Structure 1
Amino acid sequence: MLYGTPTARRRDAQRNRAAILEAASEVLALGDTVALMPEIARRASVGQATLYRHFPDRAALVAAVLNYQLEILEARVAGHAEHPEGFRELLREVLHFQIELRGLVKLVRRFDATQQERYRQRVITAFVAPLRQAREHGYVRADLVPEDLSLLFTMVQGVAEATDDVAAARAAADRSVDLVLEGVFLSPGLSNGLSSPDANARRS
């Protein structure tokens, strides 16, 4: 056997796996969960045998795609931990991302409750540090906690699944962000001038 051949095969396998995960993300963004495996193999430019060698069934593929997307999300959110002024736009971006991958979210609902809770906790944990910084600097409500964001994600998913109009779903997500971060009603403290910098800017 030639030296380096096993290493080359490992590199090829890594490239194939990465291509499959990217292709699966694209397919799920289109909402095509029926012809999932054949379409993913086509987009990844691999044979179905290669696809099934990496992921023996749909459940394994969905779990891998979810982990892949969560790693992207965690890295994106972590990059905002020291930039509290950008928390609002970060939240919008994440919600738009959720809308685009609503097909993936639907499939994840088929997982057992323990798995679903584990993934939910990963998302919430990712937001702990950025939310704390945004709260301490006055960019969000003082009483906003990570679990509130979980409610927001659930609400936006409901909107996303109620319409095929992605633009409308994004608009609803943006409105949800505004309502959650500022509240429907001002608290007594906010009415006495303790509002967020964004709210002050709109009133000036």
Structure 2
Amino acid sequence: MSTADNTIKVFLVDDHRVVRTGMRAFLEMLDDIEVVGEAGTGKEALDRLAVLDHSDELPDVVLMDLMMPVMDGIAATRELKARFPAVEVIAVTSFVEEKKVRAALEAGATGYLLKDAEADEVGRALRAAVRGEVHLDPAAARQLAAAMRAPVTATASLTPREREVLALIADGRSNRQIATALSVSERTARTHVSNILAKLGLSSRTQAALWAAREGITPS
């Protein structure tokens, strides 16, 4: 969709006008970037992109804020990619959170930038997007890589008995009920729970239950 002179057409989505204004001025510093539109919510973005689609003027890349009212950036990205699959999306936010990074990528985003990124980095992300390449803020990339490695390493560190206990935690069992189910003392059950939380780097039984569900660890 790039124009003949290889200018990258960009659409801005952010619920703060001052941010959009700043980003537009920011991008005007880059010779090969042209801002072709903007919107203040995910829904508004989809509506305006539909209009651009009718005139065959869709942007190459959308810079999508993740935290917005009405329709957040992740939901908007998912809908945008379903309706306009040729348009690339770069998620933009003020902070790095592994779950948000993962959710944005799963929704179809091809990049993740912080709002304090330098102009050169924004340019690199936009150029990577039109090439179909993923570009992540370095901090986001580190968090995502760590999160992808951690479940395998941590789960593998559990003993068979600890996996049994974890499955019972996921089933909502108390320490006493775990002790009864495994024919051990309540103190031993409590020790197993403490060891599991320590190995997985978790702070509560609720987190452990969510972990078990994600990893498919259930009572046999």
TM-score higher than 0.5 here? no
TM-score (norm 1): 0.28
**Richer in helix (by share):** 1
- Kindly name which structure, 1 or 2, has the bigger radius of gyration based on alpha carbons: 2
Give the structure, 1 or 2, with the largest relative contact order (CA under 8 Å, sep 6 or more).
Answer: 1
TM-score (norm 2): 0.26
**Richer in strand (by share):** 2
